[in-house]
Amino acid sequence: MNIEIVCPMMHQKDFSNVLKMNLQTDAVIANQADSNSKSELTENGHRYLMITTDTRGASLNRNIGINNATADVIIFSDDDQTFVDGYEQMVLDAFEKYPQADGIKFYCQSTNPKKPLSYQNPGSWKKAVRMDLTSAGVLGFAIKRSFLEKNNIRFNEEIGPGKEIYCGEDTEFIVELFKHKANIYLSPQLISYVGQSDSTWFKGFSEQYFISVGYVYATIYGNMAFLAALRRCIVMKKKTKDYSCLKMYQMILKGIKKKKSKK
């Protein structure tokens, strides 16, 4: 079993930022820039493939990474991650321990105390249910490439950073995994540190933010999304005074209806 990191980046001219990630396996970098090319670097016996395109969108570029990966297991990453020493053996041992696993979510830790990650360390190994992961993101998520190919699972390129619905692509991807009955496990092991730099998509509590929230809620909660939206409005009232609860609810409903119209 071999492993590849799949990571989207933007406007890279060389492999200098890739080398900062402390990679100890092969990697596929989907680089969003203003040209189209492929380049390779071999470092410490590992092959780093950078695919540069003039495309835009995090989901599209994650898919470019998946489509060009060749390893048995791929691990999703962002460009502000730094992997711990020995992560390759950690992942190999984990799949040996749970050979029935299609995917394993490892723990990542934020290095920015003001921006902790929403996903908390599970504390011990456990079989995952959908609600464990729907808001966890895909950072540090290792999955067998054969499962993705067999079930034709990719990120939804109509949503995510760079699109009108600028979040929720990780959630929809994870929901698709569970729809296809993926066996997913949670690991308490730390696989990487995340810089949690400023978001490229969150620009405040705008109308588009609430529409995106509604779209994600419809993905997670289905017909219960309307109740989840009410709860979210009550929580959000403490964070912003720009909108009334009614106005926030109306905007979230737009997102819920948008998602339902896609089915």
* Residues 157-214 pLDDT 10s: 988 887 888 888 999 999 999 999 999 999 999 999 999 776 666 667 889 999 999 9
Tally the C-alpha atoms within 13 A of residue 181's C-alpha that lie toward its C-beta.
2
Q: What pLDDT does 202 receive?
A: 66
CA angle 47, 61, 69 (to 5 degrees): 35
In angstroms, rounded to a whole number, what is the distance separating the alpha carbons of residues 253 and 85? 45
Say if residues 78 and 139 touch (Cβ distance below 8 Å). Answer: yes
Q: What pLDDT does 198 receive?
A: 64
- 3-194: CATH homologous superfamily? Spore Coat Polysaccharide Biosynthesis Protein SpsA; Chain A (3.90.550.10)
Token pair of 102 as six digits? 């299609």
Which of the residues in the chain have pLDDT under 50?
Answer: none
